[in-house]
Amino acid sequence: MAEDNFPKQTTIDSSKLFNIRVWEGIQYKFAKDLGIAIKVMSEDGKINTEESNFSDFYNILTSTEEGKKLCEINHENIDKEARFITLYADCVYYCASTYFYGKKFNIFVGIKERVSNDLLVKQLAEKAGVDYAELFAAYKSQTVFSDERLINIADLIVDLFNIVIELSVQEYITHMANKEKEEEIAKMSALMEASIIINSTRNLDQLLKIIMQSAEKVMQAEVSSVFLIDSERNELFFEVATGPKEDVVKKIRLKMGEGIAGWVAYTGESLLVPDVSQDPRFARRVDEQTQFITRSVICVPLKVRNQTIGVVQVLNKIGGGSFSKTEIKFLEALASQAAIAIENANLYEHLEERAEQLNKDLKNANMNLSIEKLRIESIVQSMEDAVLAVNSEKKIVKVNRVAERIFSIDGGRAEGRPLEDVVKIRDLRDNFTTVLAVKSITKTEVKFQMGNKEHIFAAVFAPIIDEKNEAAGSVAVFRDITEIKELDKMKSEFLNMVSHELRTPLTPIQAYSELMMVRNVDNEKVKKYADIINRETQRLGALIGDLLDLSRIDAGKGLSLALEPVDMNELMLTVYETFKNASTRHKIILTLPEKSEIILVDKNKIIQVMTNLLSNALKYSPDGGEITIKTWFDDKMFYGSVKDQGLGIAEEDLTRIFEKFFRVESEKVKKIGGTGIGLPIVKYILELHNGSIKVFSEFNKGSEFVFNIPKVKPQEDLNG
Amino acid sequence: MADLKKKIVVADDEPFILSALQDTLSDSYSVTTASNGAEAIKVAQRVMPDLIILDVMMPEMDGLDACKNLKRDKLTSTIPVILLTAKGQITDIEKGFKSGADAYVVKPFSPARLIEKVEEIFEKVEMRKKIMEDKKKA
């Protein structure tokens, strides 16, 4: 129990603590059982006990002039021991005063003994036939209640009053002591509660609010708040504020040293200000902004490891009055709990932040991983190469779209199935096992039937190496190289054919030139040999010309035309002369229109066209026969036709013969040399002349190539 | 004494090559020409030459098939065959030997080298004959 709080005599307001209920009970008993009316009045008038009987008594007393006078009591004149005893009829009036804890109490005692006797006197007077007034006067002169007896009773009553008042004081003292104890218990339990809260919640704001509310409750404060120091700006800000103005308050910041809170934060010392109006440190700014009137304050520092991090303040004792010094200690204890709470919360906040960050990182990583996984998945799925992966137990773990197609499987069902269920070719299965065992890559080629066509795939098998550097399975990638193979085949065939085609004219050239040099040949033979050499040189030149043209067309440079006026009959005759003796087995027939026409063409290019068509006609009619060259004109066009009686072209190949490098796939044709570039060049040259070419052919009967060139007269522009 | 001349059948689909072969060899040998493999076989069966020179790439029947056929036929199996090819590649040469050819000449050829080759083959044949005769005597 705090001694400070023990009620001092001087501070006791006896009128306040007087147990009026007990005294009124006593008054009632006196009045009812003994007919004694009592009234107690404190000199300040705060206590005024008046029993109803006393009122009757008072009424009777004041019904006469004399009685009235008696009642005009000047309390100032009632001394401690002064007593007035007045007898009026059967009424006794006694007045005494007593002091208690410096306060004067006046006690009035009245006895109305003979009210019933008064009526009896009246009746007696009537019966006896005597004058009532005379009889009453005689009766009144009789002393019925001795002064001594009355004084004794009055003294008893004064004593009783003193006892009651003493008891009241004792009761108050006991009550106050109990109250102290209760407050102490409330504070202890508030502190306990605070420490429990600190360990139960990590929400700092909520936690501080709960602590402050319990402080308010225990300390009977109107509002409270917690400030924290913003060390960067050297300011204080409201972390928690209770009360209706919380939102406004929270926007306010105090400079270090400003106001009571600023002062406490600055000095680190607790402060009790009973009346802020008397304290120059008080900052009115906050009250003005919040329209709150601060009267008294307790403010204590919030310290974490001896460092002031903020302050806690409690404002205005409810019902007025000031806070006591003991409450500083309580608030300090509470503040240290709050400091722990803040430290814990910061710690947890850090931990939570870290955990949250980690969680976020993990989520991001997972998300990235799944995005990556999806991306890889879609890459694998959209690959044009087949992918098939197995684990170390040779169960399929991954099959992509193309692999599903070449192995004729459904992806959903393939995964998890044993490899031999899906891959029927034993050698392929063995490759999966081999690379897993030797941890190195193996390459092979494999053929798959797809639709009605056989496809060639290049297959690469690789072990899947896990993070422990162990083989977790193997993966195979199959690439369709059918087209590449075809192109490759075409390329080597083309090179072979070119080589053959070049060597063919070279052979007679070399043979005859050597024969001419080494042997003594007669003039006739020289002429024959030279003629052959000349022809074969031209043939070689034409072939090289074709190859160059092709490479120009291939490189996108195209061919340019050197247009000149050409008599078409003359041109055809020249071509005919070159070819008429080319073969002993063929008969070359030339049919020209009677009237020739001169049109603008590139002479050499048209010779190239005719040479190619005629060479083909000769080549592809190995059994000989007629080769017919025919030309004619109509209004707009020049027409040329070369017709043979040779092998002919199968229908399915007709559309392809103008494709570059295309050669008909037949045993007969293969044995006939050819590069597959002649017809594409023919078509190209004719299209350059705005003309076109068509082929008519019957297999094993022969072919006819018919072309046309628009007639452009020498004055006209080719494109005009 | 035309009969003393050794007989050679040459086959090529290119008329000028055929004539070049003929012009190269006809001074020393009796040359018969054919323009494809099938024709060459027919001519060989008729003429029974001492040597056959076949171009590889010919229509109807190419040189390789003609060579195989000739070597398979008892009548013509002992006649040496020279394959004439525009292809100098090894694989083609190997093909040539698989077909049973005795030698090959790559186009374009030098007439002198061709004659050397022809004479070489005839010498080999002569030597073989002698050895056979010696064996018989022994």
Q: What is the mean pLDDT of residues A478-493?
A: 85
C-alpha gyration radius of chain B: 15
Q: Which residue of A has its CA nearest to B107?
A: A507
Q: Do B20 and A519 touch (CB under 8 A)?
A: no
Domains, chain B, in order of start with CATH, read 2-137 (3.40.50.2300)
Give A-chain residues touching B60 at CB under 8 angstroms.
622, 668, 671
A–B CB contacts, 8 A cutoff, strictly below: 85
- For A213, other C-beta atoms within 10 Å of its C-beta total 15
CB–CB contact A506 B87 (8 Å): no
Residues of B in Cβ contact (< 8 Å) with A519: 27
Report helix, strand or coil for A36.
Answer: strand
Give the N- to C-terminal CA distance of chain A in Å, as an integer.
126
Strands A235-241 and A84-88: unpaired
Question: B24: which chain A residues are within 8 Å (Cβ-Cβ)?
Answer: 511, 515
Q: What is the mean pLDDT of residues A575-599?
A: 89
Q: Is A426 left (phi over 0), alpha (psi -120 to 50) or beta?
A: alpha
**A200, A207, A318, A348, A429 from A354: Cα distances, Å:** 21, 21, 44, 9, 51
B 64-93: CB under 8 A from A: 86-89
> B110 to chain A: nearest residue by CA?
A511
Q: What is the fold, at CATH topology level, of the domain defined by A201-348?
A: Beta-Lactamase (3.30.450)
Whole-angstrom distance, CA of residue A290 vs CA of residue A392: 76
For A592, list phi and psi in degrees, rounded to 5: -115, 155
Task: Output the pTM of the full model.
Answer: 0.47
**Per-residue pLDDT reduced to its tens digit, A278-327:** 888 888 888 888 888 888 899 999 888 788 888 888 888 888 777 888 88
3-state secondary structure (DSSP) of residue A309: strand
Residue A563 near residue A601, CB atoms below 8 Å: yes
CATH match of A490-710 with 3.30.1490.20: no
Which residue type sits at A519?
Answer: R
Class of domain A382-479: alpha beta
Q: Are A535 and B16 a contacting pair at CB < 8 A?
A: yes
For residue A581, list chain B residues with Cβ-Cβ distance below 8 A: none
Q: Answer whether residue A4 shows pLDDT above 70.
A: no
Closest CA–CA distance from residue B5 to any residue of chain A (Å): 19
- The most confident of the ranges A271-285, A436-450, A457-471, A637-651 is A637-651
How high is the mean pLDDT in each 10-residue block of chain B (138 residues)?
A: 79 89 92 92 94 87 88 92 74 71 87 92 91 86
Q: Is B110 on the interface with A (CB under 8 A)?
A: yes
| B116 at interface of A, judged by CB pairs closer than 8 A | no
On the question of a common fold for A201-348 and A382-479, the answer reads yes
- A489-525 tens-digit pLDDT: 878 878 877 887 888 889 999 999 999 998 888 999 8
Interface test with A, best of B107, B113, B114 (most A CBs within 10 A): B107
The answer to whether residues A97 and A107 touch, using CB atoms and an 8 Å cutoff, is yes
Cα radius of gyration (chain A)? 67
Shortest distance, CA B85 to any CA of chain A (angstroms) = 8
Pick the residue of B14, B22, B23, B65 with the most A CBs within 10 A to test the interface with A by mutation: B23
> What number is the average pLDDT over the span A687-712?
92
Q: Per-domain residue ranges for chain A?
A: 9-175, 201-348, 382-479, 490-710
Single-letter code of the amino acid located at B49: P
| Closest approach of A670 to chain B, Cα-based (Å) | 8
